[in-house]
Amino acid sequence: MKSWGGLVALLAMLTLAGCGETPTGRSQLALVPEALMAEMGGDAFAEMRRSRPVARDPAANRLVQCVAREVIAAAEARYPEAGMPEAWEVVVFDDPSPNAFALPGGRIGVHAGLLQVAETPDQLAAVIGHEVAHVLADHGNERFTQQLGIKAVLLVVGLVSEGELAGEGLRQALGIGARLGIALPFSRAHEEEADQMGLAIMAKAGFDPRHSVALWRNMAKAGGGQPPEFLSTHPAHGSRIEALESHMSDAMAAFRAASEARCTG
């Protein structure tokens, strides 16, 4: 009984220690060490590169690399207090689905099919900004902690091994499905936060934030029917657009400031 009492006290202490805030000020519980999250994200990305074809189109690769570079620099400038990966790896996968994802440790994957829906560099920046925001806000760690519960806490204190946590649960926590590269939805709170942060990031980078609304209208057309909002962790397209527009005034001010700096710098 004493050992269990000590363990409960230790878990409570670790839980309190793991409480923090995201860059937007939302309370968050993320207990898995960042180094371990980065390692697992790197392993998952390496597996994708082995199992999925990489796009060879030079124009597509130049566009994605250019937009990603600007977005990453802006993310670091806009959210300097957030933990940024030391380096980012960006890969365009030869996949027709309109998708993108980012993994802990600074790995970004963009499906070639996304470039058929994101019709402008600004729209592409909206997607990449959103995915980078998931990493900066530590959403994968938070979801990992939520999904694995006490096991994630035990991992911190070394009472279970990383191997015991591997498998589909890990992939889901990182936002990828059993078929590697197929993104799984984060929680609605995570998606809304990534939308808000992504809007601020793209504006800081000098991309027109109004194109984020155009992007999601394109997504709605490409995706066809969508289940009712209460049945999905993803916000419905209409709600997503409404939320983006509610932050548009601040984003446009940041965009104008970035545009003026470009002209005068």
Model pLDDT, residue 110: 97
Burial class (CB in 10 A: 0-12, 13-18, 19+), 61: middle
Model pLDDT, residue 7: 42
Model pLDDT, residue 143: 84
Q: Cα(first)–Cα(last) distance of the chain, in Å?
A: 67
Instruction: Per residue of the chain (265 residues), give pLDDT as tens.
Output: 444 444 444 444 445 445 688 999 999 888 778 888 898 899 999 999 999 999 999 999 999 999 999 999 999 999 999 989 999 999 999 999 999 999 999 999 999 999 999 999 999 999 999 999 999 999 988 887 777 665 555 555 454 555 555 554 555 555 554 333 334 456 888 999 999 999 999 999 999 999 999 999 998 888 655 554 444 556 777 888 999 999 999 999 999 999 887 766 5
Q: How far is CA 166 from CA 46, 160, 176, 177, 225, in A?
A: 15, 11, 13, 13, 34
Where are the chain's structural domains? Answer: 22-257
Provide the whole-model pTM: 0.81
- How many residues can be counted in the chain? 265
The 3-state DSSP composition of the chain as helix, strand, coil percent (nearest 5) reads 65, 10, 30
Q: What are the start-end ranges of the H helices in 107-236?
A: 121-136, 139-148, 150-156, 162-165, 168-174, 188-204, 210-223
Q: CA 69 to CA 214: how far, in whole Å?
A: 22
Q: Which of 131, 142, 191, 192 is catalytic?
A: 131
Model pLDDT, residue 236: 78
Scanning the structure block, which residue is given the tokens 């440790």?
A: 105
* SS3 (DSSP) at 34: helix
Model pLDDT, residue 145: 79
Model pLDDT, residue 29: 84
Q: Confirm whether 142 is a catalytic residue.
A: no
Q: CA 251 to CA 246: how far, in whole Å?
A: 10
H/E run at residue 14: helix 2-18
Q: CA 103 to CA 108: how far, in whole Å?
A: 6
- Residue 143: both structure tokens together: 């979801």
Model pLDDT, residue 82: 92
H/E run at residue 110: strand 107-111
Model pLDDT, residue 62: 98
